[in-house]
Structure 1
């Protein structure tokens, strides 16, 4: 499948090498709205370069499109690609609102086009192993879930202002980390029924990269969230991008029969470094080895490439076989509905139910 990549940040660092590692895909084009950047990147990657998205979609050398741009333009580009009859693979969040995500899903269904979403933790070996343990009932009756995702990437107030600082442009820790967390927990425990939340912005101004003057930040960099799942499980989710020496990502599951702790303190690589321990019926936590059935055939210094390559391979297979991709726009919509409910719950200081 001949694939074009829209976006030169994550797109070049992760998507391009992941596509090249997947036997079922080949990179044929790159897109960026700046013609000079598009041309320079295309020359470096030895592919075609485009600054007009419609021209890219008209190319005879493009069968499908990966959209790895900042969030504020993602849904519009996806709409254009779907209208041109191209399967799409989307970075998350798939849109700026659940309404946008719902429209994308309807458009894809009506056009019978396969769309994948980059929810990487579904493709990480120990998380796949955890999902199997939960499905097998090792926890017994799940009682409590606790997810701490405490990072320091934006703890320095001198870090320059960008779209990440603006809520209306899709910035903030809920879009960066939360949508991953919501998809992960929904994968494990089913749909979310209600949400309570408190969002805050610790770093309220950052220097403009061009002028040096301070610009306001209104996107949340701390989020305290409680999720209640339809099956009755309660989850406490704490997210932050401003925790100096933060502990990384740690997921704790407590049930009637067992406790599971899965996590990593590695803030430089959010795939490498995870460990999982299980305590059965009050016993001590015991280290679990990664099972070969879930392992990657190859890894890279950038840990993101291996799970993204796995997801892209699933996407290409789904396109080839004409069947839905999981995770796809249904999962993207479900995660975005929780993200929207989190914003509303924080703004109103009330619990928000999800239909």
Structure 2
């Protein structure tokens, strides 16, 4: 008989998405156990740690010396994420990182080198890879449902930042990792790489439609430096894959925006994956496919892809599934997918999107670390 293994002790850094999504997901996994929370503001930390009956740390170094903590979920804003991750890896902690992993791809590469040296598992929360209909789309594409892909189109038109009176914060600052590229673009690039192959070339246009927002304390208008619209033309594939032109439109300021819609057209048919739900990226998605000359038909996910548990908040189930993959990686020592290699590939393209928009040039893309 295999001995019963104690659960892996996990700390969560960040009390937004970390508390509302990662924490309930952790509690559902018998291989993982939440043991501590971290937040720099003591008052906010004490409220959460008392509510969840967990140890609270405002000192990052003290958290990293706690032997009960074997792994850390970093769900902070993007700005401090790289330094916190670097220190955690040096302390021997496994990591699950929210995206964007860091502010620049070279920082992701540095984390990858250290993780390999330390033999630590690092997951990146590209949770669309864990959503049943997305997994079904991947399965169908691998089976050749569209034949040779000819065109990919991704429209992700959201309204979360459409209210100009929404206060100025880190999201308004490009230098802090704010903007639609970090919020949606990192997911979008990973989605396209996973389903269609790596990015080989990019040309892009960025825009800041709402150029000032009120300071949350003074009410005075402050300049917004982050983009709220991104338009990109990509070339995907190569390396024994067909080259596929792709068009990507991302925004967070689309009033009555139609949500997330991915269309893939090929020599034998078409595949459509989409949802107009602005708040929940599980509830509301549909998948359709059509062979050449036939109408689109709705497709359900195969039974083996269904979630064993669901929550009212649809974000929790895919995060729980991804946390399960992370636990398995930590237990087995096998590489984590999606991990830092995937995080680097996504961030590298996002960096090049910004470079292309600044220079007005079409840029070639290096596809591996």
TM-score bracket for this pair, using the shorter chain length: over 0.9
1:189 aligns with 2:196: yes
SS, match of residue 145 in structure 1: strand
**Alpha-carbon distance between aligned partners in 1 of 2:355 and 2:305, rounded to the nearest angstrom:** 38
Match of 2:276 among 252, 261, 265: 265
> Where does residue 222 of structure 1 map in the other structure?
229
**Alpha-carbon distance between aligned partners in 2 of 1:107 and 1:15, rounded to the nearest angstrom:** 25
**Alpha-carbon distance between aligned partners in 2 of 1:11 and 1:268, rounded to the nearest angstrom:** 17
SS, match of residue 79 in structure 2: helix
1:68 aligns with 2:75: yes
> Where does residue 178 of structure 2 map in the other structure?
171
1:316 aligns with 2:323: no
Shift of 1:37: 1.7
1:110 aligns with 2:121: no
Using structure 1 for the length normalisation, give the TM-score. Answer: 0.99
Q: Which digits, 9 at most, give the CA deviation of each residue in 1:163-186, with x for residues without a partner?
A: 000000000000000010000100
Q: Which digits, 9 at most, give the CA deviation of each residue in 1:45-92, with x for residues without a partner?
A: 100000001100111221110000000001111001100001000000
Match of 1:202 among 204, 209, 218: 209
Match of 2:167 among 142, 149, 160: 160
SS, match of residue 11 in structure 2: strand
1:238 aligns with 2:245: no
> Where does residue 218 of structure 2 map in the other structure?
211
1:29 aligns with 2:36: yes
Alignment CA distance shift 1:281-1:265 (3 Å) = same
Match of 2:347 among 333, 336, 346: 336
Spell out the pairing of 1:112-151 with structure 2 (5 A cutoff).
112-151=119-158
1:254 aligns with 2:265: yes
Shift of 1:301: 1.4
> Where does residue 277 of structure 1 map in the other structure?
288
> Where does residue 97 of structure 1 map in the other structure?
104
> Where does residue 298 of structure 1 map in the other structure?
309
Give structure 1 regions of 4+ aligned residues with deviation exceeding 4 angstroms.
Answer: none
User: What's the RMSD between the two structures over aligned residues?
Assistant: 0.7
Using structure 2 for the length normalisation, give the TM-score. Answer: 0.95
**Alpha-carbon distance between aligned partners in 1 of 2:335 and 2:160, rounded to the nearest angstrom:** 35
Q: Which digits, 9 at most, give the CA deviation of each residue in 1:125-165, with x for residues without a partner?
A: 00000001111111111000000000001101001111000
Deviates more, 1:248-257 or 1:283-292: 283-292
Q: Which digits, 9 at most, give the CA deviation of each residue in 1:177-233, with x for residues without a partner?
A: 001000010001221111110000000000111111111101000000111013211
SS, match of residue 188 in structure 1: helix
Deviates more, 1:227-236 or 1:94-103: 227-236
SS, match of residue 155 in structure 1: coil
Q: Which digits, 9 at most, give the CA deviation of each residue in 1:233-284, with x for residues without a partner?
A: 1110000000000000000000000101110001121221100111101210
Shift of 1:304: 0.6
Shift of 1:34: 1.3
Shift of 1:290: 2.4
SS, match of residue 271 in structure 2: strand
**Alpha-carbon distance between aligned partners in 2 of 1:214 and 1:118, rounded to the nearest angstrom:** 34
How many aligned positions are there? 355
**Alpha-carbon distance between aligned partners in 2 of 1:335 and 1:171, rounded to the nearest angstrom:** 16
1:56 aligns with 2:63: yes
**Alpha-carbon distance between aligned partners in 2 of 1:313 and 1:119, rounded to the nearest angstrom:** 13
- Unmatched tracts of structure 1, length 5 or more: none
**Alpha-carbon distance between aligned partners in 1 of 2:233 and 2:30, rounded to the nearest angstrom:** 41
